[in-house]
Structure 1
């Protein structure tokens, strides 16, 4: 009888604990990007230590720690704020740097999230002040990078979900979604101000005569044609290469489309 009573008590206790309501957690609300982030970051440069910078950034005039939305805006970066650049058809990217997230001042880190549409291409670019590690968290990405003179070959990789690679500082690199489904990546860089230089955009900013000579056909491309190229310079996330666009039904097979958005 005693064993039966103990069994019933245990059963009742188990039943009671199993129906206990799970804790309710509200989804955190959006956080706007700080409009004067660069000015705030500039004011932190003069602080002698990391603690001094945090105190200046995160406390009020009386030295009390900020609370609520005021604290959240300075300590949380919301990558949901991103949207495609004007004219971009390949997706969007948002990079958290000291210019828009001042708490990064002197931390030596920054990060990005990018949503790449089917066939989308993050055009060839380089970061002059940072190495990069990139991880695909959705979809498939083809990537490649080229180092400085003396190591004249492209290092190509294909990344699946939760797979990553690196792009050394100063290397020209890109990411392309070769599929008809969206892809997403996250990236971390070891500088709060990594910089970005889009190779095609930068090159076509040079004088027409210099471009002609560098490309080796000074009589084939004239200044007017180069100016036309400049008017169609790519944005960060381009629509993608024609073969992928055609395979995904995003480009008519008899049309001619630049790989730039």
Structure 2
């Protein structure tokens, strides 16, 4: 429990000193509620009467490990506005990331958030790639107690290089950071992207592309 508390204190302090990517709120809080007509809206959610707010609106537990029995050997337990309604308009969210031995959080991006990662258990190889034209890999091996930052929008990853389970917590500078897993988006899109186009774009044989598309669409 002390490790969990330390991780969340670090994430909270980092967020309090950083400018959130989401617009700053104009009220103490705006606990999210479902609008009766299920209207479509661009930003945020409808708010509960603040006089009716309760502790449960600002609470969610991630003390239980996520299931890592999957092809990538990891599990991301997102703690966003859908899990904590009180996060609405506050420009922050979090995630618990569990890794099996040699499990990975594959290359992905968060289009709306910078991420700060705290390692609680295990040894992770992490990194991100800068934008064109340099595409520089910035990478580091992290151990328990280490912290690393992934800038907004850049492709990044985490890989458990140890023989034991690993655990990390992430803070993100948006209540809804979004996630785009590169391989899933490219080869698992629905409907599929033209394989001839992908073959040329990735300099691969078209048969390889079709095999990848079949694999990622099957996983979906």
Normalised by the length of structure 1, the TM-score is 0.60
Residue 90 of structure 1: how far off its partner (Å): 1.2
Counterpart of 1:59 in structure 2 is 51
RMSD, matched Cα: 2.6
Q: CA deviation at 1:166?
A: 0.7
Residue aligning to 2:203: 216
In the TM superposition, what is the alpha-carbon distance from 1:147 to its structure 2 partner? 1.7
**Partner Cα distance (2:50, 2:65) in 1:** 25
Assess if the C-alpha contact under 8 Å between 2:114 and 2:150 holds in 1: yes
Structure 2 residue runs of 5 or longer lacking an equivalent are 1-24, 32-46
Three-state SS of the structure 1 residue aligned to 2:144 is coil
Gaps of 5+ in 1: 1-47, 61-65, 236-261
Deviation at 1:196, TM superposition (A): 0.3
Q: Deviations over 1:31-53 (max 9, x none)?
A: xxxxxxxxxxxxxxxxx842363
1:216 positional shift = 2.0
Shift, 1:139, TM fit: 1.2
Change (3 A) 1:222 1:139: closer
2:162 maps to 1:179: yes
Choose from 73, 94, 105 the match for 2:88. 105
Give the drift of 1:214. 0.8
From 91, 111, 126, the equivalent of 2:74 is 91
**Residue 86 (structure 1) shift:** 7.8
Structure 1's 52 and 165: CA in aligned 2 closer, same or farther, altered over 3 A?
A: closer
Contact 2:198 2:209 in 1 (8 A): no
Q: CA deviation at 1:159?
A: 0.5
Q: CA separation of 1:162/1:219 partners in 2, compared to 1, >3 Å: closer, same or farther?
A: closer
Match of 1:127 among 105, 110, 116: 110
Q: Structure 1 residues 85, 57: closer, same or farther in 2, change over 3 A?
A: farther
Bigger strand fraction: 2
Closer, same or farther in 2 for the Cα pair 1:100/1:86, shift >3 Å? Answer: farther
Greater helix share, 1 or 2? 1
